[in-house]
A and B are shown apart, each in its own frame.
Chain A
């Protein structure tokens, strides 16, 4: 008698019995493959990291909430039901954000692309088999992810919420939790599948859309994690004040309310509003699921069409015109530097792997901003220049700069790097000049946008003045980035763990002070005083000049690997297949 895990393994190892099963397995494998990592082991490590990151809050939150829940349940029984609903809302949000993040990471595999159409189109398979296999793979993936994310929270939640009730209530809480959270996950997943199919079919901008989605969903996940302790919080009373229970209010427009309605309806809570919410949750989920299926069908036909007849669009998306113009001004008349800076900025504008790295880091910055704003609490306090406001664009630019530096280490189409080895000089400061110019070209427009974000709070004039500070810091960051890279970006294999976050986090923290906190305080101190402004500008300029001088010295050690010292076995020896003919065949 085999245990279930062994049976599952045996099932996975079994050869596929039909083309549908073969395709289904191939599509499922696409979720775990990546062109930006160089080995399966690296991909598995990355996946383990993502899963561990997602599961940690799920494991800790029930423990954190349980004590508050128990305390309030004993002292304030009337609050038991609102608190149960509050917890359910938290887990519904977690399910939506968690599954959304995973789907955004797997963005490319959510729909068909041109390569699928080119490979599968000529095969003697009916389109219905191909499409059904894709939908089955998507469904299997969603089921596994949603179950993994939600069971972890469902078990402790049902135990805590049903603690003072009968066993049947525990089971009912568990079922309600699983159905509501999985339906919410289905809603988000199908929304992203629809978006992927539509964007991939009608526009070439799906790389940019994926990066924006990753940024938003990672930000949402991180914000969820930092907001989690405030969702349900008990403040013990004393002699002078009573014990208070705080619950985060959920806006009425939030989609989580629909799924909360479903949760409450299954749990059997009385109230017409829950029935209405449940109906809305089922209706929108069915509608978005149908749209995901329809767009997947249309997506396959569209990709077949694109594979056969390339579109005649006049512009390539993601040309990074403004950053390239800035970089061109920075490199002057140096042709080689211009070639490399154009290459860096075009890669950043069009490559998904590079954009994902920047998006994740930018999300960290946004989360830090949200956390700092939460500490202030009173929104009216933000309507004047203060460190917590002025540092917002600086923090965002700093984290984008960290992401940008990390992205430069991520390879892009390594096999094409011979173009640099063969056509470019082996040793030239132009490579440093190009990286510096590209970093500045990338960060400067972003710093203007980031500064504009605080204009509604502090006014246009103060925001414009602060934009000058943010842009100056962006230039310093660009110089610092170029100082830490000594090869043409994207042309070397990735070295796992080069960021050394575990050991270098104090350095990143120090950077936060140097590039965000202290400049914000300096800008606040300078205010409108021209003398102080000039002094602050002088210091920033001096820092940039020092870094540039150091960069010029370091540039002497920049080099392109001149030779490829590896076994040249890239060519497939088609004509030599005779040597592997088995004896029985020869006979």
Chain B
């Protein structure tokens, strides 16, 4: 089990996340929701070991996950929000780089990469450099790179960004299958419909604090609301929506 205990992160005077705690269990997909600036990406980056928390702890099976950071990183897979890749490498070259950095057996790496490329529908573009890939194609490379080493924990930050409908459907199923396989899956997204379909529990963040943490069904039942979208709007309390909408229209016509 992956547990976040009283996590706080300061950027100078700015508090990005404050005293947040939650748990992610094997076999479930935990959704991480929140508006921009709520601290989702900071939380995700701390969970991946790319960023260090100011206070608090991340525990894996009861022990400090970062005590052996390398060991921890060996068992996690991560799809970042921004598809930053070496654009002069081809898709297979990038995946070979990741696979070899993770010391995957050379004997099977090539075949594994080819299978991923075929299943993700980008095999025919394998000789192109990533600079010529569309955002969706880059996203597929990131998804393949994140699970190439069969990780125990998978952290996905806006994984469906730029994907077409059929690819998104396949990957929604894949995320659920990862959880059924006993993996810990953390899924951060703005797309509430997808979160509702994929996640069993959600953590809702606002201004760096947890404002909701429960299963989707329980949240809907407690608040007597029909959808996660309505739950989210109710909890995050998006103020002055109409006022802002009118303002945007006025700005457009000015």
Q: Is B69 an interface residue (CB 8 A)?
A: yes
Number of interface residues of B (CB under 8 A): 56
The yes or no answer to A514 lying at the interface (CB within 8 A) is no
Whole-angstrom distance between the Cβ of A336 and the nearest chain B Cβ: 6
Complex Cα spacing A578 to B48, Å: 31
A419 touches B97 (CB 8 A): yes
Residues of B near A343 (CB, < 8 A) are 86, 89, 97
CB <8 Å contact, B16 and A346: no
Kindly supply a per-residue 1/0 record for chain B positions 126-155, scoring 1 wherever the CB is within 8 Å of any chain A CB and 0 otherwise. Answer: 011100100000000000010000000000
CB distance from B18 to the nearest CB of A (A): 15
Min CB distance A340 to B, Å, is 8
Residue of A at shortest CB range from B100? A339
A interface residue count range (under 10 / 10 to 19 / 20 to 34 / 35 or more) = 35 or more
Bits for A555-575, please: 1 = Cβ < 8 Å to B, else 0. Answer: 000000011110110110111
* Residues in B neighbouring A76, C-beta threshold 8 A: none
Assuming the contacts A346-B93, A418-B80, A586-B243, asked whether A567 and B11 have C-beta atoms less than 8 A apart, the reply is: yes
Q: Check: B88 CB closer than 8 A to any chain A CB.
A: yes
Residue A445, interface by CB 8 Å: no
A422 contacts chain B at the CB level, 8 A cutoff: yes
Q: Which residue of chain A lies nearest to B88 when distances are taken between CB atoms in the complex?
A: A350
Tell me which residues across on chain A come within 8 A of B132, comparing CB atoms.
114, 310
Task: Pick 18 A–B contacts, CB within 8 A, sort by A.
Answer: A310-B125, A335-B100, A336-B100, A350-B129, A413-B86, A416-B87, A418-B80, A419-B97, A421-B50, A423-B102, A426-B69, A563-B50, A564-B51, A568-B16, A575-B35, A581-B244, A585-B247, A585-B250
**Given A564-B45, A576-B35, 14 more pairs with CB closer than 8 A:** A316-B90, A335-B103, A339-B97, A339-B98, A346-B93, A418-B80, A423-B73, A426-B69, A562-B69, A563-B52, A564-B50, A568-B11, A571-B81, A581-B247
A37–B51 Cα gap in the complex (Å)?
25
- Output the least CB separation between A249 and chain B (Å): 46
The reply on B41 being an interface residue by CB < 8 A is: yes
Q: What 9 A-B pairs come out closest when comparing CB atoms?
A: A339-B100, A578-B244, A573-B36, A415-B84, A424-B101, A350-B88, A423-B101, A335-B100, A567-B11
CB distance from A337 to the nearest CB of B (A): 9
Query: Contact at A316–B127, with CB atoms within 8 Å?
Result: yes
A335 and B104 CA atoms in complex are apart in Å by 8
CA distance A297 to B222 in the complex (A): 65
- From A338, A340, A568, give the contact of B51 (CB < 8 A): A568
The reply to whether B88 and A422 form a contact with Cβ atoms under 8 Å apart is no
Contact A574 B11 (CB under 8 A): no
Q: Cβ of B78: which chain A residues have Cβ within 8 Å of it? A: 422
Complex interface residues of chain B between 28 and 80 (CB less than 8 A to chain A): 35-37, 41-42, 45, 48-52, 69-70, 73, 78, 80
Instruction: Compute how far the CA of A340 lies from the CA of B44 in the bound complex, rounded to whole angstroms.
Output: 26
Asked, given contacts A316-B90, A419-B85, whether A562 binds B243 with beta carbons under 8 Å apart, the answer is no
A252 to chain B, nearest CB (A): 44
Contact indicator A571/B101 (Cβ below 8 Å): no
User: Is B181's beta carbon under 8 Å from chain A?
Assistant: no
- Mostly, the A contact residues are helix
Hey, which chain B residues are within 8 Å of A563, CB to CB? 49-52
B82 at interface by CB-CB < 8 Å: yes
> How far is it, in angstroms, between the C-alpha of A442 and the C-alpha of B221 when the chains are bound?
65
- Which listed residue, A114, A310, A416, touches B86 by the CB 8 Å rule? A416
Please tell me if B111 contacts chain A, counting CB pairs below 8 Å.
Answer: no
Is A314 in contact with chain B by the CB < 8 A criterion? yes
**Cβ of A563 to closest chain B Cβ, rounded Å:** 5
Chain A residues within 8 Å of B, Cβ to Cβ: 114, 310, 313-316, 335-336, 338-340, 342-343, 346-347, 350-351, 412-413, 415-416, 418-426, 562-565, 567-568, 570-571, 573-578, 581, 585-586
Closest to A573 in B: B36
**B164 — which chain A residues lie within 8 A by C-beta?**
none
Q: When the two chains form their complex, are residues A585 and B251 in contact, meaning their CB atoms are under 8 A apart? A: yes
B81 partner residues in chain A, CB cutoff 8 A? 571
The interface residues of chain B lying within 8 Å CB-to-CB of A315 are 127
- Select one of A346, A425, A573, A585 contacting B89, CB under 8 A: A346
Chain B hits for A568, CB < 8 A: 11, 16, 41-42, 45, 51
B145 CB, nearest partner CB in chain A, Å = 8
The complex places the Cα of A342 from the Cα of B102 at a distance, in Å, of: 15
Give chain B nearest CB distance to A35 CB in angstroms: 11
B14 at the interface (CB under 8 A from A): yes
Alpha-carbon distance A416/B138, docked complex (angstroms): 12
A338 touches B100 (CB 8 A): yes
B165 at the interface (CB under 8 A from A): no
Known contacts A335-B104, A426-B69, A585-B250: A419-B93 contact under CB 8 Å = no
Tell yes or no: B96 within 8 A of A by CB: yes
- Give the one of A351, A422, A562 with max B CB within 10 A: A422
How far, in whole Å, are A351 and B84 apart by their CA atoms in the complex? 17
| Docked complex Cα distance between A565 and B97 (Å) | 24
B82 touches A570 (CB 8 A): yes
A585 to B190, CA, bound (A): 27
Given A335-B106, A416-B84, is A578 in contact with B247 using a C-beta cutoff of 8 Å?
Answer: yes
